[in-house]
Amino acid sequence: MAMKSPDSDSQVSRSEEIEAFAQFKASSPHLDAPGGAVTGSPSDSSREAFQSSLLTERYRLRTGLATPALLNTTGSSSVADSPVLSSIPSMIAGPAASRERRPTILVVDDEPLYLRLIADILGNDFRILVADEGMTGMEIAATHVPQLILLDLMMPVIDGFEVYRCLKADPRTREIPVIFITGIGDVVTETKGLRMGAVDYINKPINPDLVKARVNTQINLKLMRDKLLLLAVTDGLTGLANRFHFDGMLAYEYARHLRSGEELALIMLDIDQFKAFNDAYGHLNGDECLRKIAKALTKAVSRCTDLVARYGGEEFVVLLPDTSLRGAVIIAERIRNCISDLALPSKDACAGFVTASLGVVSGRFLKGSSIVDVLAETDIQLYRAKAGGRNRVAFRALEKSAPMH
Cα dihedral sign, 6-7-13-19 = negative
Helix ranges (H only) for 39-181 are 46-65, 83-86, 112-122, 134-144, 160-169
**Minimum CB distance to ligand GH3 smaller for 220 or for 337:** 337
State in angstroms the smallest separation of the CB of 350 from Mg ion.
12
313 binds ligand GH3 (CB under 6 A): yes
Residues 284-343 that bind Mg ion (CB under 5 A): 314-315
From first CA to last CA, the distance across the chain in angstroms is: 6
Position 270 contacts Mg ion (CB under 5 A): yes
259-291 CB burial, b ≥16 within 10 A, e <16: eeeebbbbbbbbbbbbeebbeebeeeebeebbe
Q: Is 53 or 278 the residue whose CB approaches ligand GH3 more closely?
A: 278
Residues 267-296 that bind ligand GH3 (CB under 6 A): 270-276, 278, 283, 286-287, 290
Query: CB 266 → Mg ion: shortest distance, Å?
Result: 17
283 binds, among ligand GH3, Mg ion, none (CB under 5 to 8 A by kind): ligand GH3
The DSSP output letter for 321 is E
Instruction: Give the type of residue at 400.
Output: K
CB-wise, 141 or 394, nearer to Mg ion? 394
Residues tagged active-site: 314
**CA separation for the pair 262, 247 (Å, rounded):** 20
Cis peptide before 205 (omega within 30 of 0): yes
- Distance between CA atoms of 142 and 7, rounded to whole angstroms? 47
Residue 299 binds ligand GH3 (CB under 6 A): no
- Give the footprint of ligand GH3 on residues 26-85 (CB under 6 A): none
Give me the least distance between CB of 388 and ligand GH3, in Å please: 12
Residues in the chain: 405
287 binding partner (options ligand GH3, Mg ion, none; Cβ < 5 to 8 Å by kind)? ligand GH3
CB of 241 to ligand GH3, least distance (A): 16
Q: Determine phi and psi for 205, rounding to 5 degrees.
A: -65, 150
**257 touches, from ligand GH3, Mg ion, none (C-beta below 5 to 8 Å by class):** none
Binding to ligand GH3 by CB under 6 A, coded x per residue (else -) over 189-228, reads ----------------------------------------
Nearest residue to 230 (alpha-carbon basis) of 244, 250, 251, 216: 244
Residues that bind ligand GH3 (CB under 6 A): 237, 270-276, 278, 283, 286-287, 290, 313-314, 386, 390
